Amino acid sequence: MSTPANEPPVIELGNGAVAIAGRPILRGIDLTVRSGEFVALMGANGSGKSTLVRALTGLRPLASGSLSLFGTPFESFRDWRRIGFVPQRGGAGSGVPASVWEIVASGRLTHRRLLRPLGRRDRAAINEALEVVGLSHRANDGVTTLSGGQQQRVLIARALAGEPELFFLDEPTAGVDLPNQQVLADTLETLSVRGSTIVLVAHELGPMAPLIDRAVVMRDGRVAYDGPPLASADVATAHLDGHHHHHHEPERHDHAPHVSSLLDGAP
Ligand SMILES: Nc1ncnc2c1ncn2[C@@H]1O[C@H](COP(=O)(O)OP(=O)(O)OP(=O)(O)O)[C@@H](O)[C@H]1O
């Protein structure tokens, strides 16, 4: 996924800080993500991963710092269809039992002109998204009749239907069984090979480990590590938690290995 040198970063956050109810949650965050990168955002519970994703998607305001998306300052950014967000599962499927197709179609709404029915192109995108996650045959079923892992795939299909260039996924494999994790990993690989930029919040990478270009490890609301994925991300977390009380200078790393070379078994 080589990027033309003149292309602006997809995400550029400088010295970002977030406070919730007056309490500092994130501090001094510098994060640059380039087009086509597959970044894993890791770290212990409560280290600030979800809060960072919310700040990057505008769901949580920055107390200070500068944020640009696709080279546009956040304040003037309007092109939200370029961004897909798969939230942490949790309540998905509770309440109104929408059908799988309806949930996925909701991800297409930003493309649709106001009050116009979905067009042929919209339907094609919705159906393709269902196919990618392997749920075409469940399109008309209520989401509540699906397993947790399948519901997670519905949420990914919803983001896919919008055909975004940048995907945020918050813990998509939490509580998902291994076969479903593998389907998720295959889906993300497809997206990555197509050139999508992916920011994945994950506690454990599991079958997604070989896809990652770069790991960003959060600790106490700061970036404790930014660099090539280590042999085991759990080692990274354990290492950082166990021995270091001061955060590391982030390690810059602009030449991420290609997904394909990782899959070929290169280091
Ligand atoms: N809405 C909120 N109100 C109060 N505190 C919050 C809120 N959201 C997050 N926090 C606090 O901010 C800190 C970071 O939380 P965050 O959810 O970003 O961490 P995380 O790394 O994503 O953890 P997890 O893996 O548990 O999702 C935690 O101390 C949490 O208690």
Q: Which of 15-24, 115-124, 227-236, 252-261 has the lowest mean pLDDT?
A: 252-261
List, in order, residues 6 or more apart from 74 with CB less than 8 Å away.
58, 62, 67, 68
In whole angstroms, what is the distance from residue 177 CA to residue 136 CA?
Answer: 20
- 19, pLDDT greater than 70: yes
**What's the whole-model pTM score?**
0.78
State yes or no: pLDDT of 239 exceeds 70. no
For the CA of 218, the nearest atom of ligand 1? 21
Residue 66 has pLDDT above 90, yes or no: yes
The answer on pLDDT for 22 being more than 70 is yes
Using the Cα atoms of residue 58, residue 176, residue 32 and residue 225 in order, give the sign of their dihedral. positive
Q: Which atom of ligand 1 is nearest to the CA of 203?
A: 25
- Torsion angle of the four alpha carbons 70, 73, 75, 81, in this order, in degrees rounded to the nearest 10: -10
- Where is pLDDT greater, at 254 or 211? 211
CB 185 within 8 A of CB 23: no
Grade residue 112 by pLDDT with cuts at 50, 70 and 90.
low
Token pair in block for residue 219: 């600790």
Q: What residue's CA is closest to ligand 1, atom 28?
A: 46
Summarised one tens digit per residue, pLDDT across range 133-178 is 999 999 999 888 998 889 889 988 988 888 889 999 888 888 788 8
- Per-residue pLDDT tens digits for 219-235: 999 999 999 987 654 44
Residue nearest to atom 9 of ligand 1 (CA): 51
Higher-confidence residue of 196 and 107: namely 196
Reported as a pLDDT band with limits 50, 70 and 90, residue 89 is low
pLDDT at 212: 95
pLDDT at 262: 30
Per-residue confidence band for 249, with pLDDT thresholds at 50, 70 and 90 = very low
What pLDDT score does 38 carry?
A: 97
Distance 41 CA to ligand 1 centre (A): 14
Tell me, in angstroms, the distance from the centre of ligand 1 to residue 141's CA.
Answer: 34
Residue in this structure with the two tokens 């896919």, named with its chain if needed: 160
Q: How many Å apart are CA 102 and CA 93, to the nearest integer?
A: 12
Distance CA 169, CA 30 (A): 20
* Alpha carbons 236 and 130: distance in angstroms, whole number: 35
Distance 120 CA to ligand 1 centre (A): 41
Q: What span, in angstroms and rounded, lies between the C-alpha atoms of 56 and 27?
A: 14
CA distance 209 to 227: 14
User: For residue 95, what pLDDT is reported?
Assistant: 45
Ligand 1: residues with CB < 6 A are 20-21, 25, 43, 45-51, 218
Q: Is the pLDDT of residue 258 over 60?
A: no
- Please tell me the predicted confidence (pLDDT) of residue 232: 54
